[in-house]
């Protein structure tokens, strides 16, 4: 079943990749979310080996290169995204290794090798959260960090109507769903906050930080007018869940 969903999502991303070039990349964690400049979850990455899960067009890896990371590794389901990332990172000072692969599979990544694994607004595309987190744990060195962000599980469960939030879907329902804001057939995963936390704990991670604040400026008000990630809705419910944890 999960292989069918991966195939659907791969086809969707091959078609949509160009529309997401450079979007939702560090220092941004997600729409209307705090920036890395404010949170400082990564700290100094100079000389570190970095792996990006769902690297997209490579702009987050470019951000890491500008901060003098030693090695840049990334994987993404889409060939078009990997091609874009490879072109973007062509003049990087860091060593670059990119793989076209789903998160649930290991395309040849070394275990116990990375100082940081991160995923910026991509982990909700996994068909198997436990397997993906297990992979991340294996790839990390002891003491290494896993940092990820995704749409906050509450955000798609409520609607804003005349300054009131109306819950029209159960928060308790988890699993694959066709996101209404995604115009091409694709399946994302609804996961409760507790499921994220417990999955990390079950795999052996120590959780260090959870962020669900919003960042609202007048520029954001104009930028997100009449969009899925609405400024007005974000004043009442978080758009993004951000978690940092560590492999002991």
Q: In which band, very low, low, confident or very high, does the pLDDT at 226 lie, cut at 50, 70 and 90?
A: low
CA distances from 74 to 12, 58, 79 (A): 20, 8, 12
pLDDT at position 123 over 70: yes
Query: What CA–CA distance (Å, rounded) separates 80 from 186?
Result: 16
Q: Which fold has domain 2-246?
A: Rossmann fold (3.40.50)
pLDDT at position 6 over 80: yes
* Strand 140-151 versus strand 114-120 pairing type: parallel
Tens of pLDDT, residue by residue over 22-57, are 888 999 999 999 999 999 999 999 999 999 999 999
pLDDT at position 72 over 80: yes
Q: In which band, very low, low, confident or very high, does the pLDDT at 225 lie, cut at 50, 70 and 90?
A: low
CB-based contact 61:50 (threshold 8 Å): yes
pLDDT at position 224 over 80: no
Distance from the first to the final alpha carbon of the chain:
34
Tens of pLDDT, residue by residue over 125-152, are 999 999 999 999 999 999 999 999 999 9
Residue-level pLDDT at 187: 87
Tens of pLDDT, residue by residue over 168-200, are 889 999 998 887 777 788 888 999 999 999 999
Query: What CA–CA distance (Å, rounded) separates 25 from 48?
Result: 19
- Domain spans, the chain: 2-246
Residue-level pLDDT at 117: 98
């Amino acid at each position: 079943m999960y292989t069918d969903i991966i195939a659907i999502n791969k086809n969707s991303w091959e078609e949509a990749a160009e529309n997401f070039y450079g979007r939702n990349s560090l220092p941004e964690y997600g729409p209307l979310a705090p920036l890395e400049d404010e949170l400082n979850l990564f700290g100094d990455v100079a000389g570190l080996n970095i792996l990006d899960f769902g690297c997209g067009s490579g702009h987050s890896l470019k951000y890491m290169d500008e901060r003098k990371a030693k090695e840049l590794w990334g994987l993404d389901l889409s060939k078009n995204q990997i091609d874009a990332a490879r072109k973007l990172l062509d003049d990087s000072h860091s060593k670059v290794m990119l793989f076209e692969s789903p998160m649930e599979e290991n395309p040849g990544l070394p275990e116990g090798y990375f100082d940081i694994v991160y995923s910026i607004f991509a982990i909700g595309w996994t068909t198997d959260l436990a397997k993906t987190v297990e992979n991340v744990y294996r790839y990390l060195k002891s003491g290494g960090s896993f940092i990820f962000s995704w749409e906050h599980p509450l955000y798609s469960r409520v609607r804003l109507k005349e300054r009131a939030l109306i819950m029209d879907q159960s928060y308790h329902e988890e699993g694959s769903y066709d996101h209404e804001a995604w115009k091409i057939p694709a399946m994302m995963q609804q996961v409760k906050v507790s499921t994220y936390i417990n999955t990390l704990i079950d795999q052996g991670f120590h959780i260090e930080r959870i962020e669900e604040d919003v960042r609202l400026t007048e520029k954001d008000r104009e930028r997100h007018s009449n969009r899925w990630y609405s400024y007005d809705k974000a004043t009442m419910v978080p758009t993004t869940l951000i978690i940092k944890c560590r492999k002991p």
